[in-house]
Structure 1
């Protein structure tokens, strides 16, 4: 099994779901090989989401869960042209979703990934490159370059 955190297999540039939990389930299915149980992982994400929204504003959501149902740390990227209702901090629809899956017992790895994504997205040039990308390989390279810096 590939150990990369980001991979073109885990990027969907045409997400058609328009509701938060349907989108989380769709993105979790993309990384099924890295999960012990997709539905139980999705339940862990829902539990986390019930504590506070992961819709950080400006069209971005970063749902995540540290879960015993995860085999390998993975980030799935979803892009929606229509927008997804997320109950975001700014009450705007989400167009970019970064679903983070980290196995329980991996220390603070999920926090490091979350921080890297949140800081990267605040960089207007980086965010614009992500938004304008129409190829999964471009998004994979942008994210891998960020994790290697």
Structure 2
């Protein structure tokens, strides 16, 4: 799976303003909504928040991968947001999150959901990828980091 195919430029920001998880989830969901990737913001955000209650999506290393499956998502996609100051997230390593990958998945696409999560997690486990993401400040360096 080529993860870049699911990330459009209009769903990437290098200036997340949120400093807490709840606000970051809303900010990222709004990014997807404004880009037309999510048809109903509140329904999608509810799915993401419910998933977050099950188990933290802050995987450590300054990275979180919140995700939600919803009928309001017509096609699988990913938004990326970077915070310069860090976001309190309740991550596995108890450190702030600086890079957020938010997955939006149509309600019944379980296989796509698992493929996206596993592909992204495999990429993000490498220290050099994490460091490149933290240094990325434009779309080209971002795409290079996750290549």
Q: TM-score, normalised by structure 1?
A: 0.89
Q: Distance in 2 between matches of 1:72 and 1:117?
A: 17
User: After the TM superposition, which residues 4-43 of structure 1 pair with which residues of structure 2 at under 5 Å, given as runs?
Assistant: 4-32=5-33, 33-43=36-46
Deviation at 1:73, TM superposition (A): 0.8
For residues 50-103 of structure 1, the C-alpha deviation after alignment (integer angstroms, 9 at most, x for no partner) is 001001111110000111121111110010111101111111110010000010
The structural deviation recorded for 1:133 is: 1.1
State the partner residue of 2:97: 94
> Which residue of structure 2 lines up, in the alignment, with residue 79 of structure 1?
82
Q: How far apart in 2 are the matches of 1:26 and 1:52? A: 20
Consecutive unaligned residues in structure 2, runs of 5 or more: none
Q: Which runs of 4+ in 1 moved over 2 A?
A: 140-143
Match of 2:141 in 1: 138
- SS in structure 2 at match of 1:108: helix
Query: Match for 2:109 among 106, 111, 134?
Result: 106
Unaligned 5+ segments in structure 1 are: none
Equivalent residue for 2:58, pick from 55, 58, 71: 55
Q: Contact 2:65–2:100 at 8 Å: present in 1 too?
A: yes
Aligned to 1:126, which of 116, 129, 132? 129
Could you tell which deviates more after superposition, 43-52 or 103-112?
103-112
User: Residue 115 of structure 1: which of 113, 118, 122 is its match?
Assistant: 118
For the aligned residues, what is the CA RMSD?
1.3
